[in-house]
Amino acid sequence: MSKKKPSPKMGTEAAIDKQLAPQPENDKTGQLAAHTADAADEQMNTNTGLPINDDQNSLKAGDRGPTLLEDFILREKITHFDHERIPERVVHARGSGAHGVFQVYKPLSEVTKAGFLNDPKRETPVFVRFSTVAGSRGSSDLARDVRGFAVRFYTTEGNFDLVGNNMPVFFIQDAIKFPDLIHAVKPEPDNEIPQAASAHDTFWDFISLMPESAHMIMWAMSDRALPRSYRMMEGFGVHTFRLINEAGKASFVKFHWKPLLGVHSVAWDEAQNISGKDPDFHRRDLWDAIESGAFPEWELGLQIIPEEDEFKYEFDLLDPTKLVPEELVPVQRVGKLTLNRNPDNFFAETEQIAFHLGHIVPGIDFSNDPLLQGRLFSYTDTQLTRLGGPNFQEIPINRPIVPVYNNQRDGFMRQTINKGKTSYSPNSLGNNDPQQVKEADGGFVSYQERIEARKLRLRNKSFFDHFSQARLFFNSQSEPEKNHIIDALTFELGKVKNVAIRERMLGILAQIDEGLATQVAYGLGLHLPPDLPANQSIPADGNPADYQSVQVESTLAKSAPLSMANTIKDTIKSRKVAILAADGANAASVSAIKSKLTAEGALVEIIAPRAGFLIAENDEQIAVDQSFLTAASVLFDAVYVAGGTNAVATLAAEANAIHFLNEAFKHCKAIAAHDDAMQVLEASYFSKKLPADYNENTVLSEGIFVGDASENFAALFVKMIAQHRFWEREKPRLIPA
């Protein structure tokens, strides 16, 4: 057993805040703790602690003379400024993060010995970073893209990083293709166009030659690529991992994050508008939700597969382009993640956090997934470049909450001051410290998998099925979701200039669903190739023509969890609702609706022709949150039009108000109005498309309701908003907006 040493002041979970923002004091191990700047009552000094008398003027030869080279204060300040930007991530550059906690519901000792998954009383600190993949740091949050979903658990056994996405599968099967994939999707190298978009020749050229991407393309072209918010998207570990229990028995596992607000998206046209109105939409949404106390929550789900069932399925568990349908292996919800604190400093925390698939703890181990194995190398190599050297783990946001003892020394940006004569093992001069930890005492031991094989550059034939799960995903979608996929593919391929690439992709799509391919072809003004190309991929010898993919039919016709139509629709917590009003508004109805929505957890804003205050018909002043000049329907989830004779007349004549409503209708949002406000609705384009007679069933399918401000009216409006969108109205009722 290792010799116990005095724990530093930051070595407990209770001190996580101090660990992430430690005070400048020597701890008991002789290490000088790094410190973070707190502006309160601090004297200005240099990075060496020298008090600064004048930070406003450089040292010059005379008051109009040249600046002197000896001005070390100026040089330190400018040098730090010149280097305060670090290289952005190659992928996942644009991100947003938050602190929180994770708590398991009950011990999982049957499948894992990981401590944080076995103590229901323990709150494990976490930091979560969400991101887009393809765009640079300055790109829009609303690009059609995969979203990163990375979670760091600061456990008492070290840091565990669950690095995943909001989609359960990936584009490629082997990490050796990752640079090719990213080079293809990034802006084209000759002109650096387009930014944060996959709708261009190089991406679809690559995809059309890599049919193993077929399944992921269905996800990327679906509404999953346009989440309403980070708080309303699922997360997946993507890879198959192993769980190990105390007896050394292993199980395969797929990790899931299930949002308690449900899984919701925006429309593609809406996403493009949001990118112009507020490119920080997802960042702002996450920040505002946490600041308001509407803490985002997810449940951790596990799909556990006994090791003896490894070859039970028609797909390979090690293939990252495949998922395990929940009908075959149900997801067990085992704990809850809550994000409850925003970062104190974006750069120090969100930007400098260094996630790594190789950060695991006893009880969790890897599988032989070839994409996972390659990424284990990539993450370390990336952090060395991005964060300046091998000591990136000493940055406060990266430090574990347990003390670190090893023989690693020196290097760029070393923070730890190690005492003693020895920095090697074994040694006799330092009591052989630090000592190795036996497995029985919690030391990590890799799973002892028996491997006997030749060295080959090949893939197993079990990886050759590229279309069955792509077909399953498409068949599982609702009709509106299928239409969105067709529209997305038509849009993306419509941006491809090379006709041969378009035709090659139509051949790929035909292998998934011929109806899908036919509709995309029609939108592109093309015909399906008379002789569909072989389902080609790149085999070991590099010759695509030598390889035919294996045709497999899934035993499932559909999988309900794959459709967002089946998500949670019973809450309006943190939904944003706009109340359109003007001078002369009916104050009682505005107050009643706002109170009901706020009580249900919605965020309500009054939108009017001008900022400041409006005067209600009873002369009451109502504070205006935004004018039509700064507000936009795409930033809200639902709309209510207030009553009042003068207010209605003003809104009906206000072009921005009518556009607000038309756009909300176009994007399938809930719209309610006071009886008095029919004049406003009649001024809209969509009023011509509404059924004449309404009942509750009609309201809940159309998402339009006119009535008084009674309790029943407000309750029905809440039910409408909880539906999120009324996609069924989209195709037959498309309107200009």
DSSP assignment of 312-324: -SSS-TT-TT---
Cis amide bond preceding 426, omega within 30:
yes
Cα torsion 32, 35, 40, 42: sign: positive
Report the distance separating Cα 104 and Cα 112, nearest Å.
13
DSSP state of 709: S
Structure tokens at 422: 């020895």
Locate all alpha helices (DSSP H) within 567-708, ordered by sequence: 587-599, 645-653, 655-666, 678-682, 696-702
Is 379 labeled as ligand-binding?
A: yes
DSSP assignment of 512-564: H-HHHHHHHHHHHT----SSPPP-----TTS-GGG--PPP---S-S--GGG-G
Is 231 labeled as ligand-binding?
A: no
Residues contacting residue 261 through CB under 8 Å, at least 6 positions apart: 231, 232, 296, 297, 568, 571, 573, 574
- For tokens 């009383």, the residue is 121
- For tokens 């539906």, the residue is 723
- What value does the CA radius of gyration of the chain take, rounded to a whole number of Å? 29
Is 75 labeled as ligand-binding?
A: no
DSSP state of 66: P
Is 375 labeled as ligand-binding?
A: yes
Is 178 labeled as ligand-binding?
A: yes
Report the distance separating Cα 195 and Cα 181, nearest Å.
16
End-to-end CA distance of the chain: 70
Residue type, 5: K
Report the distance separating Cα 291 and Cα 287, nearest Å.
6
Is 341 labeled as ligand-binding?
A: no
- C-beta neighbour count of 287 within 10 angstroms: 16
Active site residues: 92, 165
What are the binding residues? Answer: 89, 129, 178, 375, 379, 386
What are the binding residues for heme? Answer: 89, 129, 178, 375, 379, 386
